[in-house]
Every structure is written in structure tokens, then in C-alpha cells.
Amino acid sequence: MREETLRDLIQALARADWDAVDALVVEIGQDGLANGLRVIGAAFALAVNRRFGPDATPTDVANWVAGLRAQYQGEEPLPTLEMEGLVRAALGESELVDTIAPETALGAELLMLGQIILQENLSATELDEFVAEAEQLAAEHL
């Protein structure tokens, strides 16, 4: 995967530029879904931990996912249990992702990552710092 791909993806999510997100997901998929999942997963885990912190409860996660799902009513149904499992796995319950299909995980992580980034309303400098931290985390696990 190009080094800039994660940066481009996160910046597209921060702008809510869904066409660019779709194109970048295709590019990531061409480099192999497993590799793409690791890179996006690193950014997702970082964002989730920033959003929820160490004291988050399963109820906190469920309430946030329910609120997110309510924003997307009329769209394709979002996988509630999988979304909650991905967030909780990023917070330390890693066994919760064992049965989630990679394609489902990718879509859910991108949606939730985008939502967290949009909610944080990061400045350009903060966004660059987040991307650099996510890239470092991904490199440590690749």
C-alpha cells in the first residue's frame, strides 16, 4: 500500500468526501484486504480509544452505535452487534472480532472512523498529527 493512502483516506473521511473514500478503499483492496484491514484497523483503534477512553462501558458503546445508526436511517441497515464488537475490540476485548467477516469489518470501521473524525472536528494540524500517529501504529503491527 502506498504510504500516503492512509493519510488520503483519513483526510477524505474528515471532509466527508465519500467518493474519494470509495476510490481509496478500492485502492486498498487492490493491495490485499488483509493488509488494508490492518492499516485501517490501526486508525480505527486509535480513534476509538480517543473517543471513548479507558473507562468506557459496553453501554456507552451501545448508546453511541445506536445514535450513529439513527443518523443513517433509510440507508442500508448497519450491523449493530458487529459495530459494537469492533469498538469494544478496539478498547481491549479483541475476541469480539473473531466472527466478523472482513468485508463487514472494513465497512463498519470506515463508517465509524469517519464519524469519530467528523465529531472531533480536527484542525489541519491535528488531522496531520492523527494520521502520523495512526501510520506509526499501523507500521508497528504490519
Q: pLDDT tens digit string along 63-76?
A: 999 999 888 776 66
Given this model, what pLDDT does residue 139 score? 76
| Residues 6 or more apart in contact with residue 69 via CB below 8 angstroms | 78, 80, 83
Among 28-37, 46-55, 96-105, 115-124, the least confident range: 28-37
Confidence label for 85 from pLDDT (cuts 50, 70 and 90): very high
87-125 pLDDT, tens digit each: 999 999 989 988 988 888 888 898 899 999 989 888 888
DSSP annotation string for the chain? --THHHHHHHHHHHTT-HHHHHHHHHHHHHT-HHHHHHHHHHHHHHHHHHHH-TT--HHHHHHHHHHHHHHTTTSSPP-HHHHHHHHHHHTT-GGGGTTS-HHHHHHHHHHHHHHHHHHHT--HHHHHHHHHHHHHHHHHH-
Terminal Cα distance for the chain, rounded:
11
How many angstroms separate the CA atoms of 33 and 124, rounded? 29
Q: What pTM value is reported for the model?
A: 0.84
Q: How far is CA 5 from CA 26, 72, 91, in A?
A: 11, 26, 25
Confidence label for 44 from pLDDT (cuts 50, 70 and 90): very high
Residue in the structure block whose three cell numbers are 469489518: 105
